[in-house]
Amino acid sequence: MENPVTYIEVAVPLPVFNTYTYAVPESMRALIAPGLQVLVPFGRRKLIGYILGPGSADGIPKIREIIDVLDESAVFPAAMLPFFQWMAAYYLHPIGEVICEALPGGISKKKKAVTGPKTERYAAPIPDAVVAAPLTEARQAVMDALTSGGGMAVRELAKIVPSAHRQVQALADKGLVVVSDRPVYRDPFGDPVPPDVPHKLNPEQYRAVSTVVGAMGAGFAVFLLAGVTGSGKTEVYMQAAAEAVRRDTAVLVLVPEIALVSETERRFRARFGDDVAVLHSGLSAGERYDQWVRIRCGQSRVVIGARSAIFAPLTDIGLIIVDEEHDTSYKQESRFRYNARDMAVVRARQAGAVVLLGSATPSVQSVYNVLSGKFCELNLKRRIHRQAMPEIHIEDLRKQKESRGIWRFITPALHLAMKETLERGEQVLLFLNRRGYATWPVCAGCGQAVKCRHCDVTLILHQGAGVYKCHQCGYAIKSNVACATCGSNAIKRLGMGTEKIEHAVKALFPEARVARMDRDTVARKGALLEILKGLRHREIDVLIGTQMVAKGHDFPGITLVGIICADLSLSFPDFRAGELTFQVLAQVAGRAGRGDRPGRVVLQTYNPEHFTIAAARDQDFMTFYRQEIGFRQTFQYPPFARMIQLKISGRDPEKTREFAENVGALCRKLQGRATGPHGTGPLGNKTALAGSDLSEQVEILGPIEAPLSRIAGQYRWQILLKSTRSDQLHRLARQLIFDNGAAISSRHVSLAVDVDPFFMM
Ligand code: ADP
Ligand code: ZN
Ligand code: ZN
């Protein structure tokens, strides 16, 4: 039968909000389906586009034909289209670019340029084959290896019998073995992972698993699993996942983006073996492609990965797990700005699946959703092996003001605790969320800080590298330069970074073996692994690190955690500063005493009375939440309001300012015009009526210069749109972007739309 579809709707990966109708030549009609890539003429170019569905020719004067159909089967399941469409609408992002972001690198390139799955020779013995004559020694050895293993890759066989390639062929000719080419999947894991078996759940875990399992198959539901570090959350994830797999549904597990394979990923791998596919940015394009194909063809029904794994081409998802749901790496901050934690909820809602969000320090947003009845709370209050939570002492850094040099940052209490810990042969972790040596180099002659040429920030002295470096744009100059303002050579090395702490610790404890873990020391491939192994094998006594140490890795031997200065992020001009500070402090503190010895934490701060510090000391996110939520309500910040930030940047300061002001004026004009019903908002809210109630209107803040007013030569401005009504907010933003394209586009200035922004500086 002839395919009746003559026209198709195609999305192209360009910054355009339209989709396009193309005609399908008769010869190709049988080949098309939603989710396939097609080659289309676009202006004078040829582009790869994605088939969304049947198209309409109504009112379109001249419809062009597609040039080619590029796939035999859809690169993503057609069932994912509504998800892409939802994201495009909610994030005000072109659908073609959403799909392009979703697909692994290799797939979107020219068809033949991609690396397909590799194959390898595989030999298997033919059961009951009759051996007519005695075999040579080498052939017999091959047969023995094959019969004991039931089959082997010839490459592996060659390690036992060097001439295996030849012998296998000879044995195949005799009808004793079959040889075939099997696809091999490049395994992103280095070490083989020993398998493990499920633990017998404790009563709290049992309650959590059975509640989640009880909800499976009964439609969309979201659970927030709050459990201190070491309370057995991962075991809950794995047993819920096993049940979902048993019911023939797929499982998606999101983990924070970290360097190297996370502990959670390793354990899923150990439990589920080959059922697991992994997707994260550490994979090469070829590896990502392989994993994608495995998922797409249903070979892997459990997918684990960072943010971008939200796009995994799974069908029939039954369960989505988001580990460390508070983690900011779920938010993408470039190109297409989306939040994978939030999209996990959306994807599950569309699939009628269950979501399990887990954290020791849940986000304010998720706790709010629990208290308002949207999410259901599950708790793990005790550590598995009943280890006590670490004892946390607060030390007031203000008392050190009169001290000199490093003693301003190593209090007597921390010094003593380090000494005792090292004398017992145990390990110490020191945390400071700033890398480099001196973070505030200032000229003694004129008082000017050493600044970046391209950014509105101070350069950081990296002593080992002998440079001042910009942490925003990477610009670096030799550290022996004179002051740019007065020419003086006396630059004071003020401000504390991990490198300075490392020097100090080496001076204070000359016997101790000291290592540093931050973006500078792990830049070299393999360096992080060395540090982790060093810790495990007790070749490191003191580890100094940035927030890299707070995530993902287990340090069982650490019994003392010193937080050098808890306040660094507390004063950021960001309404989430308190939340982020609480989370990182509680997470770092939770690194102490995870093995069989009890842990201690010395938390140094200039703000000992601050509720964020007190809540971190008590490891109690509800104490934090109760205080924080009042502040959010008073100032109408999320979760009480929704926000969209317009990020404006350009090389010319005047043009950028002028553009920002024009966009601001346009926003105000649209705000004044807010009228009438406008259908359903992308969140599925009810139809909005004109907001006569002021509190429901969209508030427009700015344009203002961004707190970081210049980065990499780009002048930066921002406008914040804020409303308690998501539908109103989105309507205004849509009018701004879709109906005023000309007014908001400029050759000199760019405008990015950030829905539910995180990084507001
Ligand atoms: P979390 O993810 O909450 O930090 P984990 O899942 O890592 O906690 O559990 C901590 C440790 O306890 C792990 O070594 C894990 O293997 C072990 N564990 C978890 N559940 C059980 C259980 N029911 N019985 C015994 N050991 C368990
Ligand atoms: Zn100077
Ligand atoms: Zn810079």
- Tell me, what's the pLDDT at 124? 81
Give CA angle at 42 (81, 70), nearest 5°. 55
Distance CA(360)–CA(225), nearest Å, equals 8
Inform me whether the pLDDT recorded for 531 exceeds 60: yes
Report the interhelical angle of 137-149 vs 164-173 (nearest 10°). Answer: 80
pLDDT band at residue 111 under the 50/70/90 scheme:
very low
- Taking residues 404-410, report their average pLDDT: 88
Token digits of residue 314: 């799974």
- Tell me, what's the pLDDT at 285? 81
Atom 17 of ligand 1, residue of closest alpha carbon: 232
Ligand 1 contact, 262 CB (< 6 A): no
CA–centroid distance, 452 to ligand 2, in Å, is 15
Nearest-atom number in ligand 1 for the CA of 380 is 3
**Lowest-pLDDT choice from 100-109, 385-394, 587-596:** 100-109
- Tell me, what's the pLDDT at 261? 66
- Tell me, what's the pLDDT at 159? 85
Ligand 1 contact, 235 CB (< 6 A): yes
Cβ atoms of 439 and 497 within 8 Å: the answer is: yes
Ligand 1 contact, 369 CB (< 6 A): no
- Tell me, what's the pLDDT at 73? 82
pLDDT band at residue 93 under the 50/70/90 scheme:
very high
Q: Which amino acid is at 624?
A: F
- Tell me, what's the pLDDT at 57? 87
Distance CA(289)–CA(114), nearest Å, equals 9
Q: How many CA atoms lie within 13 A of 290 on its CB side?
A: 18
Helix (H, G, I), strand (E, B), or coil: what is residue 235?
A: helix
- DSSP of 338-374: -BHHHHHHHHHHHHT-EEEEEESS--HHHHHHHHTTS
Helix (H, G, I), strand (E, B), or coil: what is residue 325?
A: coil
- Tell me, what's the pLDDT at 215? 98
Pick 69 or 269 by higher pLDDT.
69
Give CA angle at 175 (131, 139), nearest 5°. 60
CA–centroid distance, 657 to ligand 1, in Å, is 54
Ligand 1 contact, 737 CB (< 6 A): no
Helix or strand run (H / E) with residue 653 = helix 653-672
Residues 6+ apart with CB under 8 A from 585: 563, 566, 603, 612, 613, 616
pLDDT band at residue 688 under the 50/70/90 scheme:
very low
Distance CA(119)–CA(594), nearest Å, equals 43
Ligand 1 contact, 264 CB (< 6 A): no
- Tell me, what's the pLDDT at 564? 96
Ligand 1 contact, 231 CB (< 6 A): yes
Ligand 1 contact, 229 CB (< 6 A): yes
Cα–Cα distances (Å) from 266 to 236, 277, 304, 529, 740, in that order, read: 15, 12, 10, 14, 49
For the ranges 43-47, 267-271, 286-290, 592-596, the maximum mean pLDDT occurs at 43-47
- Tell me, what's the pLDDT at 260? 66
Strand order across the 476-478 sheet: 460-462, 467-469, 476-478
**Lowest-pLDDT choice from 214-218, 522-526, 604-608:** 522-526
Ligand 1 contact, 671 CB (< 6 A): no
Helix (H, G, I), strand (E, B), or coil: what is residue 462?
A: strand
Atom 25 of ligand 1, residue of closest alpha carbon: 199
Nearest-atom number in ligand 1 for the CA of 384 is 12
CA–centroid distance, 206 to ligand 1, in Å, is 13
Token digits of residue 236: 């809950």
Nearest-atom number in ligand 1 for the CA of 202 is 23
- Taking residues 67-83, report their average pLDDT: 90
Atom 23 of ligand 1, residue of closest alpha carbon: 201
pLDDT > 70: percent of the chain: 92
CA–centroid distance, 417 to ligand 1, in Å, is 28
- Tell me, what's the pLDDT at 193? 61
| pLDDT per residue as tens digits for the range 709-740 | 999 999 999 999 999 999 999 999 999 988 88
Helix (H, G, I), strand (E, B), or coil: what is residue 257?
A: coil
DSSP secondary structure letter of residue 644: E
Atom 20 of ligand 1, residue of closest alpha carbon: 232
| pLDDT per residue as tens digits for the range 612-661 | 999 998 888 999 999 999 999 999 999 999 999 999 999 999 999 999 99
Inform me whether the pLDDT recorded for 677 exceeds 70: no
Ligand 1 contact, 234 CB (< 6 A): yes
Helix (H, G, I), strand (E, B), or coil: what is residue 54?
A: strand
- The ligand minimizing its distance to the Cα of 483 is 2
Helix or strand run (H / E) with residue 709 = strand 699-711
Only one residue has tokens 């390690």, namely 159
CA–centroid distance, 653 to ligand 2, in Å, is 26
Mean pLDDT rounded to a whole number for the chain? 88
Helix (H, G, I), strand (E, B), or coil: what is residue 525?
A: coil
Strand order across the 391-396 sheet: 391-396, 600-605, 558-563, 427-431, 542-545, 514-517
Cβ atoms of 69 and 28 within 8 Å: the answer is: yes
Enumerate the β-bridge partners of residue 114: none
Pick 336 or 743 by higher pLDDT.
336
Distance CA(129)–CA(146), nearest Å, equals 13
Report the interhelical angle of 203-215 vs 233-246 (nearest 10°). Answer: 40
SS3 track for 415-470:
HHHHHHHHHCCCEEEEECCCCCCECEEEECCCCCECECCCCCCECEEECCCCEEEC
Nearest-atom number in ligand 1 for the CA of 360 is 3
Enumerate the β-bridge partners of residue 395: 604
pLDDT band at residue 671 under the 50/70/90 scheme:
confident
Ligand 1 contact, 205 CB (< 6 A): yes
The pTM assigned to this predicted structure is 0.86
CA–centroid distance, 572 to ligand 2, in Å, is 27
Ligand 1 contact, 270 CB (< 6 A): no
| pLDDT per residue as tens digits for the range 438-467 | 999 999 999 999 999 999 999 999 999 999
Residues 6+ apart with CB under 8 A from 128: none
Nearest-atom number in ligand 1 for the CA of 383 is 10
Nearest-atom number in ligand 1 for the CA of 231 is 3
Q: What are phi and psi of 509, to 5 degrees?
A: -125, 75
**Which residue among 234, 265, 382 is best mutated to probe the pocket of ligand 1, counting the most ligand atoms within 8 A of its Cβ?**
234
- The ligand minimizing its distance to the Cα of 474 is 3
Cβ atoms of 749 and 650 within 8 Å: the answer is: yes
Atom 6 of ligand 1, residue of closest alpha carbon: 232
CA–centroid distance, 223 to ligand 1, in Å, is 19
Residues 6+ apart with CB under 8 A from 189: 261, 269
Ligand 1 contact, 379 CB (< 6 A): no
- Tell me, what's the pLDDT at 182? 65
Helix or strand run (H / E) with residue 476 = strand 476-478
Enumerate the β-bridge partners of residue 501: none
Distance CA(661)–CA(667), nearest Å, equals 10
- Taking residues 585-593, report their average pLDDT: 88
- Taking residues 227-239, report their average pLDDT: 93
With CA atoms as reference, report the closest residue to 265 among 228, 286, 227, 291.
291
Q: Give, rounded to a whole angstrom, the gap between the first and last alpha carbons of the chain.
A: 59
- The ligand minimizing its distance to the Cα of 451 is 3
- Taking residues 556-584, report their average pLDDT: 90
CA–centroid distance, 370 to ligand 3, in Å, is 42
Distance CA(118)–CA(110), nearest Å, equals 18
Distance CA(490)–CA(264), nearest Å, equals 49
Atom 9 of ligand 1, residue of closest alpha carbon: 232
Ligand 1 contact, 520 CB (< 6 A): no
Cα–Cα distances (Å) from 343 to 2, 80, 84, 680, in that order, read: 38, 12, 10, 19
SS3 track for 536-562:
HCCCCCEEEECHHHHCCCCCCCEEEEE
- The ligand minimizing its distance to the Cα of 459 is 3
- Taking residues 223-236, report their average pLDDT: 93
Ligand 1 contact, 750 CB (< 6 A): no
CA 408 to chain centre: 36
- Tell me, what's the pLDDT at 289? 86
Atom 18 of ligand 1, residue of closest alpha carbon: 232
- The ligand minimizing its distance to the Cα of 485 is 2
